Amino acid sequence: MTNNNKLAVVTGGTTGIGRGIALRLAETGWAVAVNNLETESESARQLLAEVEALGGSAWYAPCDVGDSRSVDDFYRGAVEHFQRAPSLLVNNAGTQTWAPLLELGEEDWDKVIRTNLKGCFLNTQRAARLMVEAGAGGSIVNIGSGCNKLAFPRLVDYAASKGGIEMLTKTSALELGEYGIRVNCVAPGGVLVERTEREAPDYAAVWSAIAPLGRVGYAKDIADAVLFLAGENASFISGQTLWVDGGAFSKANWPYSNTDNTVAAGAEAAEERNKLELAAQK
C-alpha cells in the first residue's frame, strides 16, 4: 500500500476498463469509490469483494453521471464514507451508439453527449470543488478515445463527445492548475474487455492487425497509464492526452507497406479506376 489510502473516484467503475482501473488503484493502496447506473449491481458486489480480498477499501453507490443531483448525492456519500475528499477522479463512464449520421436518433445523441461529455463536466466540477476545499491538490484523468482526434464512421455522437473531452481536459487543466490540480486524458485504442469481445468475437484479431505493436490492448494497459498520471512521477504533466493504443492512431493513411514502397493491396485497382475516370472526363 503506497498511497496511504488516498481516495480515488472511478465513474462507471464496476465493469470493463473502469473495473480494471479500480482494481489497479486498490492494489496500490488507493481507497476507491465507484459507481454505475444500477441500483442493484452484481458487478459492484464482485468488485467490492475483490478489493476486500486485496486488503483494500472500496465503496459503491449508483449514480447517473449526467444528472447533477445524482452526482452531488454520490460525492456526498463518498466523502461521508471515507471522511476525506477525493485526491483522484477518473472520468470513465461512457456509452455509444452505432448509427450513420443521417439515421442517428436525437434521443441517442442526447444520451451519449449527456453521459460522456456532460458527465465528465459534472464530475470534474464536483470533484475539483472538493479538492480545492481540501487544499491538497489532486489529479483528474479523463478516459478518451481515438475519437479525440480522428473521425470514426457511424459514431458521430461518440466522436463529438470524445472530441469535447479533449478540450474539456485542456481547459480544466488551465483553470485548475493554480490549485495544484492536474487534469489529463488517457486515450485507449482497441481494448479487449467483456463488452468488446461480446460485440465482436474477432475483436482482438482485428485490432491487433492495425496496431504497430501487433496486439490488442487490455484494461491493465489503461489502468497503468492512469496510475502513472495520478502519481508523483507525473507531477509536472497537465493538459495532456496519453495515447495507449499500441501506436494504432499514430499511423497516417499511407499507401505503401511498412517495409518498402510496394503499393498497398487494392491500389493497383484504384489506379486503373482513376485512369478510366480521366478518360471519361476527356
Contact (CB, 8 A) for 248 and 188: no
Q: Which residues touch 92 (CB under 8 Å, ≥6 apart)?
A: 10, 11, 12, 13, 17, 18, 21, 143
**Rounded Cα gap, residues 270 and 93, in angstroms:** 42
Residue type, 187: A
E strand segments, the chain: 7-10, 31-36, 58-62, 86-91, 138-143, 181-188, 191-192, 217-218, 241-244
The grid coordinates of residue 87 equal 485526491
**Rounded Cα gap, residues 16 and 280, in angstroms:** 53
Residue type, 45: R
Single out the catalytic residue among 60, 158, 179, 203.
158
Q: Would strands 86-91 and 7-10 be described as parallel, antiparallel, or unpaired?
A: parallel
Q: At what angle do helices 16-27 and 42-53 cross, to 10 degrees?
A: 20
Active-site residue, 60 included: no
Contact (CB, 8 A) for 90 and 24: no
Q: For 202, what's the count of Cα atoms within 13 Å in the CB-facing half-sphere? A: 2
Q: Of 70, 106, 85, give the one whose Cα is nearest residue 33.
A: 85
* SS3 assignment, position 67: coil
**Catalytic sites, residue numbers:** 158
